[in-house]
């Protein structure tokens, strides 16, 4: 009799010898192992042995795919995602009843044989011969485990899965050889543990722990005798014996398992009979997978985290490598999402825009100085149903966003001003700023060619109200969002300083295209994402230092090992004085300009409104020194909706302005996000009122009317349309020579050291 080793079974060499002996009968024996017609393959003993020897000696066991847990910045659960719902547990965390049940029904001689059960093979051959088919297989538990390893390795590749499961002599031989290796290296207990963790139990549950949670909402260690028998019975055919869909069929199979356990003396006959009398009682926990399960409206942030993982080279050189790691799962992903900020974002959205409104909104919050994305939400929930979407309105196309983003309107103007100030243009620069004008021709681009206004008739730009007639200085033009002022400015300095500034700020169109070199970009004609705009304004808040946005703080794998994660890259993109000057100008916008309705009451805030042509899009992008955010409201689908005479969030609007709806959404979201947190002042500069040029007095003009829609035709940059202004209401002059916001406390800084100021002027040159 062959020498047994600890745990049962023959040694490796003995197993190989036995296998080769059996292989001689390959045309008969192996043909009978649930492989109909295999004997017709004409495999001789010699061929079988050679094929066996050519199989690699080592089975490469892939890590088992498990669920990945995504957490917020405080460790709270956002969502659970997985390609296969599995939680790997040790044998000690699995009910002894379950261990006995699976062995009894799947391989009752498991502890007596090695990798191959010769008696089982002969029994299967005899049974199948009697019934004229392939009614019974003879795979040991070890062989089944090896087959499942091949299936696991195949992942979602359907062709590889079919190959791993095909009923062929070649696969059976390969399984047998690897089974010998596994028996040698692991031993019985580890094989049983691995088998119970890898096996599919139906209802999207892989492994016994997930199965126990799915069917009974309890851990595997607490499974009772009848529950264990039920799950053990499911393994042979998860569809046929699914207790959720067919309790009667599942009960019959369960009782077969119970009787088998009694026959094997694992339990007494009395215990089996008592368990058979029990009805199938389930406590099903439905599978919760993916970002659709995210809490507090964080489904799109969850999706952003996933896309960050799949696109960042930190997690693998190729997308295929990154996807493999993500699908393998078992990760714990700690994110930057601040639960207080996210809850405030979600509440503000629900209070202002309804899911079934004709238009949608999206809000994104970013922390200046770190790039941490603190909140992200939108009015159309993450999902597949009516008024739901999987498009993340807050991010660029490559990260799961809309195809083109959304034209930004006048929220683009601060970038033009920043480029000009960085070039040495004083904050008191005055332009004629007529009500309407032709786009200037012969504007310098980054190349040798000039941009020429050669349309017939020539393209024109105008302000919303006929009363908006210059000359204006930069402070008043920014507060009132005067279109012609900024077109004159960009045409005067050339387009290249602006495109260079926006590139450094990360202001790239949402479709990844290059920003066109045309004067109309000053009016926000190109589509951007809220995250892009929020992070760009965060650079102003951080006094000229831009930090790339990040969503992931840390990741640990299934073994608790920390993985490298992307770090925010911070770089100065403009001088402190330029940023401080922009901050001063934008404080005026919310103090008494077009963004007055967005101004915070408990701390300083700065920002800019934006409304596009036909009121298809409205924006408010604002910030404090420790939080920046962008709010967009507009048309999310192919059909553009003009936001005039429209009901949104149960409120009727005759016209939607950047300051009138996006502004209050931003205000509520940021107020809640910053509640109880540090109140930080801006560093401001002294910007005086620009003196009126000789002969250029405006005289007694009637009050300007609100509204500043700016042209927004992504496919036709430079076509001005009919622009306007961004306010509703708040069209008065910004008050005071020093602008410090509602709470004051600004830190005056001389923005133009070394520049002589002529007598009678305040703050700089007047033209």
Rounded mean pLDDT, 586-597: 88
In this model, does residue 173 exceed pLDDT 50? yes
In this prediction, residue 707 carries a pLDDT of: 38
Is-contact 330 65, C-beta < 8 A?
yes
Q: List the Cα angle 366/594/438 in 5-degree steps.
A: 105
Same domain, 439 and 574: yes
Residue 331 lies in a domain: no
Whether 765 shows a pLDDT value over 80: the answer reads: no
Q: How far is CA 325 from CA 348, 557, 615, 625, in A?
A: 36, 10, 44, 38
- 310 lies in the same domain as 214: no
Output the pLDDT for position 507. 96
Cβ neighbours for 215, distance < 8 A, ≥ 6 positions apart: 201, 203, 205, 227, 230, 231, 243, 244, 282, 283, 284
Domain with residue 526: its CATH number is 3.40.710.10
Give residue 185's pLDDT: 86
In this structure, are residues 50 and 520 in contact, taking their beta carbons and an 8 Å threshold? no
Neighbour tally for 429: CB within 10 Å: 24
Does a structural domain hold residue 106?
A: yes
pLDDT at 727 > cutoff 60: no
CA diameter of the chain: 118
Please check whether residues 229 and 375 belong to one and the same domain: no
Identify whether the C-beta of residue 665 lies closer than 8 Å to the C-beta of residue 348. yes
**178 falls within a domain:** yes
Residue 715's pLDDT band (cuts 50, 70, 90) = very low
Is residue 268 domain-shared with residue 303, that is, in the same domain?
no
Higher pLDDT, residue 175 or 50? 175
Q: Average pLDDT in the 199-226 region?
A: 95
pLDDT at residue 617 is higher than 60: yes
pLDDT confidence band for 712 (50 / 70 / 90):
very low
Q: Is the pLDDT of residue 524 over 60?
A: yes
> Residue 677: pLDDT above 90?
yes
pLDDT of 376 strictly over 90: yes
Sorted by sequence, the CB contacts under 8 Å of residue 703 that are 6+ apart come out as: 467, 731
The SS3 call for residue 430 is: strand
pLDDT over threshold 80, residue 745: no
For 474, counting Cβ atoms within 10 Å of its Cβ (0-12 exposed, 13-18 middle, 19+ buried), the class is buried
d(CA 537, CA 606): 10
Does residue 408 surpass a pLDDT of 60? yes
CATH code at 41? 1.10.3810.10
Question: Which comes out higher in pLDDT, residue 126 or 522?
Answer: 522
* Cis peptide leading into residue 651 (ω within 30°): no
pLDDT at 741: 35
What are the residues whose beta carbons fall under 8 Å from the beta carbon of 739, sequence distance 6 or more?
A: 475, 584, 585, 587, 588, 591, 684, 687, 746
Q: What is the pLDDT of residue 121?
A: 64
Question: Is 563 buried (19+), middle (13-18) or exposed (0-12) by CB count in 10 A?
Answer: middle
Mean pLDDT, residues 474-492 taken together: 94
| Of the listed ranges 81-90, 209-218, 721-730, the one predicted with least confidence | 721-730
263 and 170 within one domain:
yes
Q: Which residue has the higher pLDDT, 263 or 767?
A: 263
Judgement on whether residues 206 and 306 belong to the same structural domain of the protein = no
Instruction: Look at 111-115, 118-122, 662-666, 716-720 and tell me which has the smallest mean pLDDT.
Output: 716-720
**Between residues 682 and 11, the one the model is more confident about:** 682
The pLDDT, as a whole number, for residue 127 is 59
Bridge-partner residues for 378, per DSSP? 362
On the question of pLDDT at 222 being above 90, the answer is yes
If asked whether residues 268 and 359 sit together in one domain, one would say no
For residue range 281-334, what is the model confidence (pLDDT) as tens digits? 999 987 777 888 899 899 999 999 999 999 999 999 999 999 989 988 999 999
Alpha-carbon dihedral 117, 118, 123, 124, rounded to 10 degrees: 70
Share of residues in the chain with pLDDT > 90 (%): 62
Rounded (10°) CA dihedral 752, 520, 595, 497: -30
Task: Please state, in angstroms and as integers, the Cα–Cα distance from residue 537 to each residue in 319, 371, 404, 625, following that order.
Answer: 31, 11, 20, 10
φ and ψ at residue 332, rounded to 5 degrees:
-115, 110
Which is more confident, 85 or 598?
Answer: 598
For the segment 182-207, the average pLDDT, to the nearest whole number, is 91
Tell whether 377 and 451 lie within a shared domain. Answer: yes
For residues 269 and 307, membership in a common domain is answered with: no
Per-residue pLDDT tens for 748-764?
444 434 333 333 322 22
Residue 328 lies in a domain: no
pLDDT above 50: residue 546: yes
Tell me the per-residue pLDDT of 435-478, one tens digit each, with 9 for 90 and over: 999 999 999 999 888 999 988 899 999 988 888 898 999 999 99
Domain count, the chain: 2
What token pair was written down for 557?
Answer: 């794998």
Which pLDDT value is given to residue 718?
35
Instruction: Find the domain containing 179 and state its range.
Output: 12-276
- The CA distances from residue 653 to 406, 643, 660, 711, in Å, are 21, 8, 9, 21
**pLDDT higher at 255 or 725:** 255
For residue 729, pLDDT over 80 is answered with no
Query: Which residue blocks in 616-693 are alpha helix, DSSP H?
Result: 662-674
Three-class SS string for 201-251? CCCCEECHHHHHHHHHCCCHHHCCHHHHHHHHHHCCCCCCCCCCCCHHHHH
Give the gyration radius of the chain's Cα atoms.
Answer: 35
Q: Which tokens hold the place of 121? A: 């093979």
- Whether residue 101 contacts residue 235, with contact meaning beta carbons closer than 8 Å, is answered with no
Burial, 279: exposed, middle or buried (Cβ in 10 Å; 0-12, 13-18, 19+)?
A: exposed
Type and span of the H or E element at 12: helix 12-23
Q: Look at residue 97 and tell me whether its pLDDT is greater than 50.
A: yes
Quick check: 595 pLDDT over 80?
yes
Looking at the chain, the whole-number percentage of residues with pLDDT higher than 70 is 77
Query: 133 pLDDT exceeds 60?
Result: no
Model confidence band, residue 672 (pLDDT cutoffs 50, 70, 90): very high
Length of the chain: 767
Q: Are residues 490 and 384 in the same domain?
A: yes
Q: Are residues 566 and 661 in the same domain?
A: yes
Average pLDDT over residues 166-188: 79
129 band by pLDDT with thresholds 50, 70 and 90:
low
Residue 384 has pLDDT above 60, yes or no: yes
Quick one: 547 and 422 in the same domain?
A: yes
pLDDT tens digits, one per residue of 103-124: 999 999 999 887 777 776 666 5
Q: Kindly state whether residue 698 falls inside one of the protein's structural domains.
A: no
Q: Would you state the pLDDT for residue 134?
A: 43
Within a domain: residue 4?
no
Q: How far is CA 480 from CA 417, 464, 644, 696, 724, in A?
A: 14, 11, 21, 19, 10
- Please answer whether residues 80 and 70 qualify as being in contact, where contact means their C-beta atoms are separated by less than 8 angstroms: yes
Condensed to tens digits (0 to 9), the pLDDT of residues 66-76 reads: 889 999 999 99
Mean pLDDT in residue range 221-239:
96
Collect all residues with Cβ–Cβ distance below 8 Å to 685 and sequence separation of at least 6. 427, 577, 580, 581, 584, 748, 749, 750, 751
pLDDT for 154: 73
DSSP string computed for 48-110: HHHHHHHS-SS---PPPP--EEEE-TTS-EEEEE-SSB-----GGGS-HHHHHHHHHHH-TTT
385 in any annotated domain = yes
What 3-state DSSP class applies to 197? Answer: helix
For 633-657, what is each residue's pLDDT tens digit? 999 877 899 999 999 999 999 999 9
Q: What is the mean pLDDT of the chain?
A: 82
Residue 283 inside a domain? The answer is no
The answer on pLDDT for 30 being more than 60 is no
* Distance separating alpha carbons of residues 56 and 394, to the nearest angstrom: 50
Predicted local confidence at residue 230, as pLDDT? 98
């Amino acid at each position: 009799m062959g020498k047994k080793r600890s745990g049962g079974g023959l040694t490796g060499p003995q197993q190989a010898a036995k296998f080769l002996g059996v292989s001689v009968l390959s045309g008969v024996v192996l043909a009978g192992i649930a492989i109909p017609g295999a004997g017709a393959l004409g495999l001789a003993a010699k061929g079988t042995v050679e094929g066996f020897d050519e199989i690699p000696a080592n089975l490469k066991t892939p890590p088992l795919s498990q669920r990945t847990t995504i957490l917020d910045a405080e460790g709270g659960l956002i969502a659970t995602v997985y390609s296969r719902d599995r939680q790997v547990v040790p044998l000690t965390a699995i009910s002894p009843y379950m261990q006995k049940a699976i062995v009894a029904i799947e391989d009752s001689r498991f502890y007596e044989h090695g990798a191959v059960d010769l008696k089982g093979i002969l029994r299967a051959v005899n049974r199948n011969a009697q019934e004229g088919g392939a009614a019974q297989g003879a795979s040991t538990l070890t062989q089944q485990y090896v087959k499942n390893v091949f299936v696991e390795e195949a992942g979602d590749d359907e062709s590889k899965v079919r190959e791993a499961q095909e009923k062929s002599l070649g696969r059976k031989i390969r399984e047998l050889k690897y089974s010998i290796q596994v028996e040698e290296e692991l031993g019985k207990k580890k094989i049983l543990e691995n088998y119970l963790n890898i096996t599919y139990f139906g209802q999207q549950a892989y492994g016994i722990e997930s199965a126990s949670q799915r069917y009974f909402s309890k851990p595997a260690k607490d499974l009772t005798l009848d529950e264990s028998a039920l799950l053990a019975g499911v393994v042979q055919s998860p569809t046929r014996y699914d207790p959720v869909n067919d309790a009667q069929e599942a009960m019959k199979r369960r009782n077969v398992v119970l009787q088998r356990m009694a026959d094997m003396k694992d339990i007494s006959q009395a215990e089996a009979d008592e368990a058979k009398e029990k009805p199938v009682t389930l406590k099903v926990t439905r599978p919760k997978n993916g970002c659709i399960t995210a809490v507090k409206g964080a489904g799109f942030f969850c999706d952003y985290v996933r896309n960050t993982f799949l696109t960042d080279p930190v997690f693998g050189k190729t997308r295929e490598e990154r996807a493999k790691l993500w699908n393998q799962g078992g990760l714990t992903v700690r994110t930057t999402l601040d639960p207080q900020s996210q809850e405030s974002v979600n509440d503000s959205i629900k209070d202002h825009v309804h899911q079934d409104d004709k238009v949608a909104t999206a809000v994104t919050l970013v922390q200046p100085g770190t790039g941490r994305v603190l909140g992200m939400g939108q009015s159309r929930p993450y999902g597949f149903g009516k008024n739901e979407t999987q498009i993340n309105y807050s991010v660029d196309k490559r990260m799961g966003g809309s195809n083109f983003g959304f034209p930004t309107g006048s929220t683009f103007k601060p970038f033009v001003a920043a480029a000009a100030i960085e070039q040495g243009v004083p904050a008191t620069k005055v332009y004629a700023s007529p009500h309407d004008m032709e786009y200037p021709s012969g504007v310098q681009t980054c190349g040798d060619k000039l941009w020429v206004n050669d349309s017939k008739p020539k393209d024109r730009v105008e302000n919303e109200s006929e009363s908006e007639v210059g000359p204006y200085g930069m402070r008043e033009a920014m507060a009132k969002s005067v279109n012609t002022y900024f077109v004159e400015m960009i045409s005067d300095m050339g387009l290249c300083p602006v495109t260079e500034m926006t590139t450094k700020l990360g202001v790239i169109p949402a479709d990844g295209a290059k920003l066109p070199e045309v004067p109309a970009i000053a009016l926000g004609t190109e589509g951007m994402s809220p995250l892009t705009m929020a992070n760009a304004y965060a650079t102003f808040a951080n006094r000229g230092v831009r930090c790339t946005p990040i969503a992931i703080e840390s990741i640990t794998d299934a073994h608790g090992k920390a993985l490298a994660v992307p770090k925010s890259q911070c770089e100065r993109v403009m001088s402190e004085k330029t940023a401080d000057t922009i901050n001063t100008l934008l404080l005026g916008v919310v103090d008494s300009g077009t963004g007055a309705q967005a101004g915070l009451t408990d701390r300083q805030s700065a920002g800019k409104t934006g409304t596009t042509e036909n009121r298809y899009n409205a924006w408010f992008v604002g910030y404090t020194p420790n939080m920046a955010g962008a709010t967009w409201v507009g048309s999310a689908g192919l059909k553009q909706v003009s936001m005039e005479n429209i009901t949104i969030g149960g409120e009727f609007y005759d016209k939607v302005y950047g300051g009138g709806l996006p502004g209050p959404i931003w205000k509520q979201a940021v107020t809640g996000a910053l509640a109880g947190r540090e109140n930080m002042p801006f560093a401001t500069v002294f910007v005086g009122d620009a003196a009126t040029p000789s002969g250029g007095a405006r005289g007694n003009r009637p009050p300007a009317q609100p509204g500043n829609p700016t042209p927004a035709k992504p496919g036709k940059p430079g076509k001005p349309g009919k622009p306007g202004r961004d306010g509703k209401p708040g069209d008065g002059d910004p008050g005071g020579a020093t602008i410090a916001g509602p709470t004051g406390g600004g830190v005056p800084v001389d923005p133009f050291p070394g520049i002589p100021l002529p007598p009678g002027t305040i703050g700089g040159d007047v033209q």
